[in-house]
Structure 1
Amino acid sequence: MSIIEPIPLETLNQKNFEYRLNLARDLLVPDELFFQITAHAPGYAEALFDAMYQSHALGEVDHILKEIIRIRLTQYSKDTYFSNLRSKKAQDLGLTEERIEAGCGNYSDDNQFTPAEKWALNYASLMYSNPKMVNADFYTEGKKLYSEANIMELGAFIAFHYGMQMFMRTLKLLPLNGSNQ
């Protein structure tokens, strides 16, 4: 059970939350529990979801890659809530559990990942395992594979999702269905 008591969905301000709940139901990351917990501070719940959705479901960087990175980050955050959620959008685009496992494993020697994908996966790993390695040389290499806008998109995505994972971990949340979606 969560440390913070979930608010019943029917008590949420439908004007403010209905659209966001529908987006979440379509994507499945996060699930409704995210709203039930964060809605204790409604304005923050809206802003957090909007930022999470923007960074995860929108933008120019491939959604499948972002989904693999999001799950890879849970290895560092040790978060059971986000680690067990799966993006329906990514699954609909062809993402499999096998590819997720490969991206969370020794991706650097795996031919199914492009050099750009390997750089992005490494970016996510280094931010939390060895941030001193994310330096000018690292970004110079990244600029050969991504535009500066894409690098900003990836960096913000990584930082935001890891931070949300750490926060949710402290609340001891599990997805509503208790398993992978």
Structure 2
Amino acid sequence: MKDFEKISDGDFGRKKPRKQDNFNISSEPKNPTPDSPYLSSPNSSSFLLNLNEDVAGDSTASQRPSGVKKAKIKRKIDEDYMKTNQSENNWMVEAMNNATQAKKEVLNVRKEKVRVKEMKEENKILMMDVDSIVDPTHREFMRQEQQRIMYKRSQKYPQSQPQQSSAPFSQYYNDFGVSRNDIAPY
């Protein structure tokens, strides 16, 4: 009767776990000996302690510490990543510089086209005979426009004044007809 469950008024359908008195659940002995590899503590789970292994970290000089190889591999990976990242950045900077240069060239071509178109329009206005225009307001406007264009061009392309030389032409060529000692006379 001791192995059967007791049924009370509130416990219908629930099974209670049985206590096992005579057999051990774990493979460790109940009372380990000091020479046994099994040690147990009352408040923590059991664990296996290998007494042949160096616990204090006394390793031979030929072996590296445990994290050095991983750190070296990580450092190498990080350096490779940085080199790749730097080369990609350099490539991006070069591509952006090339794109900027190309845009500047396109802008210069557009500016030149606008300048040429403006010059053609101004030339049409300058070649126009304003006296043939019947409307006096329109005629006066075209005359003022011609004056504005002429003023703008004179400021933009100043004509150099011809140099007046006060010295005679012979100062540059002073040995015409003059005999020298090293040249025989004519």
Larger Rg: 2
More helix by share: 1
What band does the TM-score fall into relative to the shorter chain?
under 0.3
Q: Which has the higher contact order (CA 8 A, sep 6+)?
A: 1
